[in-house]
A and B are shown apart, each in its own frame.
Chain A
Amino acid sequence: MLEPVMFTGGVYKHDLVIELVEDLGGYLLQKNITQSEVILLMLIPREDMQIMEDMTKALMGKLDRAPLAGTETAVVTPTLAIHHLPHPACDVAEYLRRHGSKSNMIGMARGVGRDIAQMTGYETALINEHDAVVFTFGNFKKCILKKEHLYRNIEIPVIITGGPDMEQGDLPYAAEYVSNIGRIAHRSRKATEIESLDNIVDAVGRSLDMTREEIAKDPLTTIPPRAMEVIREQVPDINQSYAPLPITLNLKGLRIKLPYDQYQEAVKAVTFDEGVTLGEIAKVMPSRMKNYILVRISPTSVTGFVV
């Protein structure tokens, strides 16, 4: 069982951590260097956690559990206008990022208003490429209830945030509702506001756990981090990608930030040690996000084997 963790420490000797991850059979998901600090998101075998903790101590770093690591969350606002941004949508996105998730902000083209709010098929499809979605709604109960049609067709867990207290039963199409985080015009800094952000992270975590449980019933042919490692080795051009996270992990696959037309063959031909190619065990298709490549790994029930 792999445990998602986040290492925060100095740049000096952080290579030792990366080497240790490889030695333990874990995976490095993301590496962020900000001046003299480095943040590493990793998956480590649970039984070897003590070894990593000792190493962290020796390097005077910090090791935290990052329950959202290896997932991608969409934060959706009705539009990108000053009414909805930067507060509180950026606070939510930033908070999810701090807990290990890759968060993408999506502003709808025509999401405003009570009666006139609309969602296009493209927006729905784009959101469906994520693992969970947070809709940031406002302070009026009637509007939140009315906007249900925006997320009714979404297949991934939907977390709604809004101001007023509401019963879960009022929003049957949402996985969870988090109150006390409606429209605000200042940065979240009060204890109650931070607590609401924590509630969102908890709600996203619970929804992702449900998806994980669902996947566990019919496991994927291979885990996405392993596919990522092999792609990194066999499609070296990915290292030239300027995207912040050239290979983004999802629970059921990954997104490769290279042009689809040019690289789809190379990605399909990626071969595992067992001799199977990625094209045989996964669907490789164009992503709705730019012209990236979306990979969805087939479950064992489809392929009949595990690599």
Chain B
Amino acid sequence: MEMKPLEVFEIEVLDEEYGGNKYKEIIADILQDLGLIRSIGKLYVYADMESAFFAVFGLIRGKLPPLRVRDVGDLIQAEGGYQIVVEDEEHMSDLLKVLWETYGRDKVEQPDRVVLTIESSTSPEDLVVADLETEFRRDLVDALIRIAPEGFRNRRNIMKKDHFFFLAAEETIDPALIAEVEEKFRSMQNA
């Protein structure tokens, strides 16, 4: 099922309407900062300040394909090898690392900030530069920890292929709490 980026974003904080609306802004700001909005389809947040817990349930939009050399810049076949003109500098260090590993340091040169030359007859086109899926999951956990109130230090975090569940509480997390939160998320999704 194809989802739009953040097509559903619901938040419910018991007896704290203002806090709920404000947290919606905070979550949007943090997801924006870490560049995660496009990868999340639906997001449900449920919190209660009386029993001091904060829970997030989200659906992930499809799997991100690994980033290959052809995705980060233009590849040109030149005399004695290949030239890459990098468009997205974000992954420059990863790119250099993978090229060094594959061809050796003496075969790779960087005559200009965004230009790389490789002395080899084999094309680097299909080399994997970065595993975006792993990066996304790492950033997502970071975002969730940043979003949840800092004092809620007992955390339960479940990351699955297509969804994630995060629960942070001040007291010990017991199965009854998890069941309550899961039930709430089910009803939020069905509403």
A interface residue numbers (CB < 8 A to B): 78-79, 81-84, 112-117, 138-143, 163-165, 182-186
Instruction: Contact check, A142 vs B16: say whether CB atoms are below 8 A apart.
Output: yes
Cα distance A44–B25 in the bound complex, in angstroms: 45
Instruction: Contact check, A184 vs B25: say whether CB atoms are below 8 A apart.
Output: yes
Residues of A within 8 Å of B23, CB to CB, are 139
Q: Which residue of A lies closest to B13 (CB)?
A: A140
Residue B33 interfacial (CB < 8 Å): yes
- Given the known interface contacts A83-B150, A139-B22, the answer about A114 and B52 at a Cβ–Cβ threshold of 8 Å is yes
Instruction: Contact check, B49 vs A140: say whether CB atoms are below 8 A apart.
Output: yes
Interface residues on B, range: 20 to 34
The tally of CB-CB contacts under 8 A between chains A and B is 72
CB within 8 A of A115: which of B13, B15, B52, B150? B52
Instruction: Contact check, A142 vs B18: say whether CB atoms are below 8 A apart.
Output: no
18 CB contacts below 8 A, A to B, read A78-B151, A112-B149, A113-B150, A114-B49, A114-B151, A115-B171, A116-B151, A140-B16, A140-B49, A141-B19, A142-B49, A142-B50, A163-B18, A165-B18, A183-B26, A184-B22, A185-B25, A185-B26
The B17-31 residues at the A interface (CB cut-off 8 A) are 18-19, 22-23, 25-26, 29-30
Closest CB-CB distance, B11 to chain A, in whole Å? 12
Residues of B within 8 Å of A117, CB to CB, are 151
Residue B166 interfacial (CB < 8 Å): no
Instruction: Contact check, A138 vs B50: say whether CB atoms are below 8 A apart.
Output: no
CB within 8 A of B22: which of A79, A84, A114, A182? A182
Q: Which residue of B lies closest to A138 (CB)?
A: B149
**4 smallest beta-carbon distances between A and B, as pairs:** A113-B151, A112-B151, A185-B29, A139-B19
Cα distance A93–B81 in the bound complex, in angstroms: 57
Closest CB-CB distance, A194 to chain B, in whole Å? 17
Instruction: Contact check, A163 vs B22: say whether CB atoms are below 8 A apart.
Output: yes
Instruction: Contact check, B26 vs A141: say whether CB atoms are below 8 A apart.
Output: no
Residue B182 interfacial (CB < 8 Å): no
- Given the known interface contacts A140-B49, A143-B49, the answer about A185 and B16 at a Cβ–Cβ threshold of 8 Å is no
CB within 8 A of A112: which of B50, B146, B150? B150
